[in-house]
Amino acid sequence: MDVRSERAAPGSRVLLRATKYDGTAHWIQPFRVVADDGNLLVTSYRARTPIYTSRGEFRSPYDSVVYFWRDRWYNVFRLSRPGCPTALWYCNVTTPPTFDGCQIGYVDLDLDVKVYPTGCIELLDEDEFEAHREKYGYPDDLVARARAAAEEVAQLARERRFPFSCGPEPMRNRSSHRTL
């Protein structure tokens, strides 16, 4: 079965099963499908619904709309408080996702990009990426793809391109943290 050709029906429920590079479970989260055009799978998640992580159960205070492109090395969570506008975008650098009709799967590659509507863009977890690069033996091409994905998603945010197209102020890099 070619999992890239499977499409999810709007309104259906799907389960995300993310792993680390060695195959260990990292993140399990339920979503409701908003749309699926065969490449971009858009899902949603309600605040306070349990998420199961390698560190235990977590309940996000945010409602989320999540964008999974089947041909990109990242996904984007648009987070908002219930009844409020976008609080931030959280972008996970991952392998391109698979979808089998019921489950979304990908390998989490540690790097994350956080984008605020004010324009602050932060690269997160570089230390974890470097530690896992050594521990799991990330191949050079995977390292290059992960770094390129972090830069690509940051560039989309800087240019206010989809899905970073809302916010109260012009996007600009403003941060005391490592920015892209």
Look at residue 172 in the predicted model and tell me its pLDDT.
Answer: 35
pLDDT score recorded for residue 166 = 63
Q: Stretch 8-20: mean pLDDT, rounded? A: 97
Helix (H, G, I), strand (E, B), or coil: what is residue 77? Answer: strand
CA distance 40 to 74: 12
Read off the pLDDT of residues 57-81 as tens digits, 9 standing for 90 and up.
Answer: 999 999 999 999 999 999 999 999 8
Pick 6 or 171 by higher pLDDT: 6
Q: Per-residue pLDDT averaged across 159-168, rounded?
A: 80
What is the CATH number that goes with domain 13-158? 2.40.380.10
- Where is 144: in which H helix or E strand? helix 140-158
pTM of the model: 0.88
CB atoms near residue 23 (< 10 Å):
9
pLDDT for the residue 165: 86
Mean pLDDT, residues 37-55: 95
